[in-house]
Amino acid sequence: MYESVLRDPTPELASLLRPRKAPPVSLEGKTVALMDIAATRNRPIPAPHRCR
């Protein structure tokens, strides 16, 4: 196994993993699909996300 954590040599200081924001209340209970206009035809379509 290799080393698993490296440090960024660029001036970027912000964490790579930013905390997720809660979805807007207005979306509660609704099904949301993300459309990726860059997706190629043969790439699997991501499953819809059900907001809690």
Q: Which residues of the chain form contacts with other proteins (CB under 8 A)? A: 1-16
Q: Name the residue nearer to other proteins (CB basis): 20 or 50.
A: 20
Tell me the closest approach of the beta carbon of residue 39 to other proteins, in angstroms. 21
The Cα-based distances of 32 to 19, 23, 41, 51, 52 in angstroms read: 20, 11, 21, 7, 11
Q: Name the residue nearer to other proteins (CB basis): 16 or 22.
A: 16
Tokens 């209340």 locate to 25
Q: Name the residue nearer to other proteins (CB basis): 6 or 22.
A: 6
DSSP 8-state class, residue 32? E
